[in-house]
Chain A
Amino acid sequence: MSTTPPASMEHAQKAPMSDLLICEHCDTVYRRRPLARGEVARCARCNAVLERHQRIGLDAMLALVATVMVVFVLANAWPIMTLGLGGEQIHARLWGVIIMMWKQHSQVVAVLAAATLFFFPLCKMFALGWLLIFGRSGRRAPGFVSVMVVLHYIGPWTMSEVFVLGVLVSIVKAQMYFDVMPNIGAFAYAALALLITVFSSIDLRQLWDEIPAEPSP
């Protein structure tokens, strides 16, 4: 694997800024070079990832967003798990969990769960969908800049994949005393976790370059 060449003073003064790349973790400046399929450029100083080859184009990204939305609806509409005791059955859905925590004097937890498992992921999907629908025809969506900034800030605050592990642990814990079955929601959440993993390799910053601004008149 060839390495990304560092920039020099000459490049900094003459090369267009889009040819340069700064490592976010240590501020080292590199000259950007095209990456081959599957290649990852790493910083020679701190070994952080500089850039990945983006094999997923705008169309595929939009398809992925649509898939995530369908799975997200399934994961929230169907019960995650069902507990049977005697003749009685209790279903737990995400919103049931959130409302129950609110009622049980743990409003902080209810708000955290609602934000990280429902509102932020939803926001992210709608925002991306909005940008991509316009982006496919080569245009920037209205509010492109602010939506991109919002996406940057909510990035680290979605926790659906942690929730999936939580579902697994609570099924095992409840199984010690009760008859618990994972329901459709649990499988939808597992699928969601897989899709999110695919998503995590996509650097959303590429949208700045791939959907260029119209030249100002």
Chain B
Amino acid sequence: MSALPRAHELGLIGCHVCGLVCRDNQVEDPACPRCGSALHRRKPQSCARTWALLIAAFLFYIPANVLPIMRTASLGDVDDNTILSGVVELWVKGSPDLAIIVFTASIMVPMMKFLVMTTLLLSAHRGSNWARRQRAMLYRLVEFIGYWSMLDVFVVALLTALVQFGFFSEVAPLPGVVYFGLTVILTMLASQSFDPRLIWDCQDEDD
């Protein structure tokens, strides 16, 4: 046994909901004595669920970027914006700092989530012990920044409610924003269903 014992080595299970440390009584379908939730060593079918959610999110991510998310109509002059063209507009028309924030939240963060989650899943499948601390850190980063991607969805919603002058000037949401919202929700679900304990589940203990 290594210097840093893990729960299963000591016959313990930590409740995933309330954090209580429980003795593993080797019964079928154990439940947490404190909060009543089902106890399991690892999140059930973590990899399969995460893959499914991640692939679904990626499928939605394509129309989210290709389709326009917002229509600005002014005196019959119609202008459809995609996520990227919205960032460019913000950059050109005088707010490069906000353009960087929006670019990070709407483009960098989702892309990073896809890359990081795929890396985590592939390395967990292979039981690799490559850069485990760094992978654990990446997972926590994805969990922490994931929901900031909703930024663009809220911006479209706010502008739609604000700019309503009929023919004179109007902003309307377009299907891209729905796909984008769904992408964000699905990637959040994907990172929540991934079990970071899998990163450390390989035989070779070198610490």
Contact = CB atoms under 8 A, between A and B. Distances in A.
Per DSSP, are chain B's interface residues mostly helix, strand or loop, or mixed? helix
Interface in A1-52: 6-9, 11-12, 17-18, 20-22, 24-29, 44-48
Contacts, number: 205
A168 interface: yes
Contact of B21 (A21, A48, A148, A156): A21
A148 B177 contact: no
Interface residues on B, range: 35 or more
Interface in B20-35: 20-23, 34-35
A176 B21 contact: no
Given A26-B136, A45-B200, A92-B161, A20 B21 contact: yes
A172 B200 contact: no
A26 B199 contact: yes
Nearest to B174: A106
A97 B17 contact: no
30 contacts: A7-B10, A8-B10, A20-B12, A21-B21, A25-B136, A27-B41, A28-B4, A28-B6, A29-B7, A45-B4, A46-B133, A81-B158, A97-B161, A100-B160, A106-B178, A108-B181, A109-B153, A109-B178, A109-B181, A149-B18, A159-B147, A159-B154, A165-B148, A166-B158, A169-B90, A169-B101, A172-B98, A174-B163, A178-B163, A208-B20
